[in-house]
Structure 1
Amino acid sequence: MTQFFNKITDLFIPGRLCLFGEHSDWAAEYRQVNPRIAPGYAVVVGTNQGIYARVKVDDQLIFKTVNNSQVFKLAMTEAKLLSMAQTGNFYSYIAGVAYQAKVHYQVGGLKIDNYLMDLPLKKGLSSSAAICVLVARAFNQLYKLGLAIAEEMELAYQGERTTASQCGRLDQACAYGNQPILMTFEGNSQTVKPLMVGRDLYLVIVDLAGSKDTRKILSQLHQCYPVAQSPWQAQVQNYLGNINQNLVQQAVKAIEAGDAVEIGNLMSQAQGEFDRYLIPACPSELNAPRLHQLLDHPPLQPYIYGGKGVGSQGDGTAQIITPNSDTQAKAIEIIEQDFPSMKCYPLNIANTNSD
């Protein structure tokens, strides 16, 4: 037992980048009350940046992070965990997952030392979901729960939904790491299909150094469901349903072929369709002048194939795809020179072909 308690496990959980299909996860949940709504589809991949931690078994729930000198400690009782989860602060995510693990698996506590975090926070890269997956995986590995990745994702999802978060189901896809996956959403269920990658892909994630109100975006878009009350609400449902499905199906083929040119074309097409159909639902947030200034920046065009917004969209984060590592570096140089407040993060997706 002493050896069990003293074992230290190293974990790394990346952020999550939705390459295609943002918002389609929660939209498809409305199929439960309106079956005419189309299923949701998304292509998701883990970022190269993430959350690093050393974890071990403990009697309490203890969380230490590089972002705060305070060490969080909480007794592993269902009442205390649930109470903390509903506070809405950073530690609510940790307590929410611990609460679900306690209820469903009767686990003890954890000591988590988050000694490094290079994942940008609140930038549409699912930093909160990464924390939840980290806690779920720690419980799974240290208490030998035998959970598959999809089950870890479900534990993390239920933990995050125990808080005030209204996250969709694609956020926890960071559990799959740097493996691109196709996610399909049907009502309250999901399926996951890992994707092969035909060639190395070179992307750049760009923190636009802008501002957006994610809650307002989601609130306005949710008003379009479950039954559209106006033509523009019907357009939102059409984009997040049939149009998105077609774009994602084409993107899957391009990724498996390693066709960066086509991926770039599809990103630009997706952004154009998003602007056409979704901006009317929340123009104050989705007009996104900084995003479009970046995507249309003339000096950048020779070095990229295309790009689009990330997450809920707005002026939070962008993604662009480049031909190779040299053009990736050049694109980063141009962005950081011409837009000094913006910050770039390379994302390399490796070829999975065995030959």
Structure 2
Amino acid sequence: MDTTKIREKFKSLYGTEGALYTSPGRINLIGEHTDYNAGFVLPGAIDKAMYCEIKPNGTNKVRAYALDLGESTEFGLEENDLPAKSWAKYIFGVCREMIKRGAKVEGFDTVFSGDVPLGAGMSSSAALESCFGFAINDQYNLGFDRFELAKIGQATEHNYVGVKCGIMDQFASCFGKEGSLIRLDCRSLEYEYVPFNPKGYRLVLVNTCVAHELASSAYNKRRESCEAVAAAIRKHHPEVEFLRDANLDMLKEVANEVSAEDYIRAEFVIEEVQRLLDACEALKAGDYETVGKKMYETHIGLSRKYEVSCPELDYLNDIARVCGVTGSRVMGGGFGGCTINLVKDELHDAFIERAMNSYEQKFKIKPKVYDVVIKDGARKLS
């Protein structure tokens, strides 16, 4: 993204120049609904990001301007200074979480903007938190490492935005690395970079542009199913704390002790943890056909076993299959949002054209398409 408009606005508002920072949105190639089961996820930072220009202003007030919304606000840094504007809560929350950890954060001026599409499951909010976390940390020499910056972003969501998210989004935004995905262990936060250099393939997101109401209540129900099955297995195998610790044989042992619905939900999660590990091995071997196969398996599991898909997502997945796309699945919590597709270069244009036209004909909604490239995480721009 061109940052000229940010620079021009900053100069006109504050009569000076600041430093520029950026932090990206993310995709997750495979590993869905595994995070709250202490499993693994496989995110990567992308070439769509949030950008901010920032400069300390010598006061105890933050003056912030949201370029994309044309809105400005000013707020103090005490706990009871929570700003009214929802976007400003992210910046305020990051400051407060740093102060709670003993850091000395003072007032600053900022202008920010971004090109992470909203509502497409690419974590624009985590990109915003990580962008300001990295910038404030650098400006005031606070000494937080990237781990702590990811936790600060997550705590901002929990305490100031009211979203009980996991840590994957902030982690990917902080730790992203060009040409690599991140295999993150959601229990220990140990991570490993897995090579992702799909020569001859492209990553494409197709946004259904629908969001079904079910999402939050269904998410809580799925979580309860997983916890119930883990508890049942634990009676026989005390070492099983989460479904991540269980295998399919253990699940079969408790088939009569849990509901049929809980059983099938747990089966998906146990299989998905293994699918992710298999996909990582395939990536290390440069075997993108196997990766694609695993993505399709994940979609079937999310649709039929975990039941978090919807007709629009299933339709896009079917089109991908018909068009010979290597891999395709719903990305994110489900009930709308995007499919993520691993597409051979030579099939790309025909797939996009067919997906857009037939989807619009069937659902009377124009889908959105985003080509994404895996890039670096939070950083200062020269």
TM-score range for the pair, normalised by the shorter chain length = 0.7 to 0.9
TM superposition shift of 1:303: 4.6
Aligned length: 318
Output the amino acid matched with 1:291: L
User: Rg bigger for which structure?
Assistant: 2
Matched residues in 1 for 2:66 and 2:183: separation?
A: 32
Q: Deviations along 1:158-186, whole A, 9 cap, x unmatched?
A: 22211211111112122223441001022
> Are the structure 2 counterparts of residues 217 and 197 from structure 1 closer, same or farther at C-alpha, using a change threshold of 3 Å?
same
Q: Which runs of 5+ in 2 are unaligned?
A: 1-15, 230-257, 361-365, 376-382
Q: TM-score, normalised by structure 2?
A: 0.77
Residue 339 of structure 2 is aligned to residue 342 of structure 1: no
Q: Which runs of 4+ in 1 moved over 4 A?
A: none
Name the counterpart of 2:134.
137
Report matched runs for 1:70-89 at 5 Å: 70-80=71-81, 83-84=82-83, 89=86
> Are the structure 2 counterparts of residues 110 and 247 from structure 1 closer, same or farther at C-alpha, using a change threshold of 3 Å?
farther
Report matched runs for 1:12-31 at 5 Å: 12-28=22-38
Output the amino acid matched with 2:298: A
Q: Deviations along 1:114-145, whole A, 9 cap, x unmatched?
A: 13x22111222111111111121111111122
Q: Percent identity?
A: 21
> Are the structure 2 counterparts of residues 258 and 8 from structure 1 closer, same or farther at C-alpha, using a change threshold of 3 Å?
farther
Output the amino acid matched with 2:325: I
Output the amino acid matched with 2:330: G
TM superposition shift of 1:288: 0.7
> Are the structure 2 counterparts of residues 79 and 342 from structure 1 closer, same or farther at C-alpha, using a change threshold of 3 Å?
same
Partners of 1:26 and 1:169 within 8 A in 2: no
Matched residues in 1 for 2:85 and 2:33: separation?
A: 22
TM superposition shift of 1:313: 1.5
Residue 262 of structure 2 is aligned to residue 233 of structure 1: yes
Residue 116 of structure 2 is aligned to residue 119 of structure 1: yes
Name the counterpart of 1:204.
204
Report matched runs for 1:35-184 at 5 Å: 40-58=39-57, 59=59, 60-80=61-81, 83-84=82-83, 89-104=86-101, 105-115=103-113, 117-163=114-160, 164-172=162-170, 173-177=172-176, 178=178, 179-184=180-185
Q: Deviations along 1:51-91, whole A, 9 cap, x unmatched?
A: 122222233223212332220211122332xx44xx79332
TM superposition shift of 1:343: 0.7
> Are the structure 2 counterparts of residues 349 and 24 from structure 1 closer, same or farther at C-alpha, using a change threshold of 3 Å?
same
Residue 349 of structure 2 is aligned to residue 329 of structure 1: yes
> Are the structure 2 counterparts of residues 198 and 254 from structure 1 closer, same or farther at C-alpha, using a change threshold of 3 Å?
farther
Q: TM-score, normalised by structure 1?
A: 0.82
Partners of 2:204 and 2:371 within 8 A in 1: yes
